[in-house]
Amino acid sequence: MILDPSIQRVLLLAPHPDDGEFGCGATLKRLVDHGVEVWYAAFSPCVASLPEGSSPDRLWGELATACGHLGIPESRICKHDFAVRYFPRDRQDILERLIQLRGEIRPDLVLMPNSDDLHQDHHVLYQEGVRAFKHARLLGYELPWNNLHFRSNFHVEVNEDQLDAKFDAVQAYESQRFRVYSDRNFLKGLARVRGVQIGRPFAEAFEAIRYMM
């Protein structure tokens, strides 16, 4: 059983489409493999960051394809239209939407950006996520390119099939393939490092923001 048997419904908070796949895609697949109901909430279509000539909803289509590789149905994807890089301005509206998600989904576990993530959108979603879900289990996923420090004090063992699903999900974002951290060797190497930390072949690491049993 993944984590503990009381976890039946999980909510992933992604500032932008692809953050969840990069941060904990293999864990999401493992959760799905164990029959856990996984919801994916993305908060921006990142229109201003898309390659020239892209349709405004390009990332939404790529998100649906990516989630398909992880076993998350499109009916469990929650899409929001906040402007990329302007989350600090929209902080209150984001908090109110998170509170709505709390009531609608009632998750047993929330996966979110970690507390040391330097990106302004990620940090706002971390702060408001903690406020909205202060009575829930909270784990912060790892995005090494956004961290000067990361407290890897919670690990989830994953297998190669789940890592393959993560890579397939990442590759679904054709608009983002130029990013150096989309490389399979990098993703597998990081999982190997995190696995070594717990004496397993592969793992994904999290910051335990709040966890109760």
pLDDT digit string (tens) for 40-85? Answer: 999 999 999 898 889 999 999 999 999 999 999 999 999 999 999 9
Phi, psi of 149 (to 5 degrees): -140, 150
Longest dimension (CA), the chain: 49
153's tokens? 């004090």
pLDDT at 1 (0 to 100): 41
* Closest among 45, 65, 67 to 56, alpha carbons compared: 45
pTM given for the model: 0.96
The segments of the chain whose pLDDT lies below 70 read 1-3
Between the alpha carbon of residue 9 and those of residues 3, 102, 106, 166, 193, the distances in Å are 12, 11, 8, 20, 28
So what's the pLDDT on residue 77?
A: 98
- Please state, in angstroms and rounded to a whole number, the distance separating the CA atoms of residues 208 and 152: 8
Q: Which CATH number fits domain 9-210: 2.70.150.10, 3.40.50.10320, 2.60.40.10, 3.40.50.2300?
A: 3.40.50.10320
pLDDT of res. 4: 80
pLDDT computed for residue 3 by the predictor: 61
Write out the two tokens for 24. Answer: 């904990």
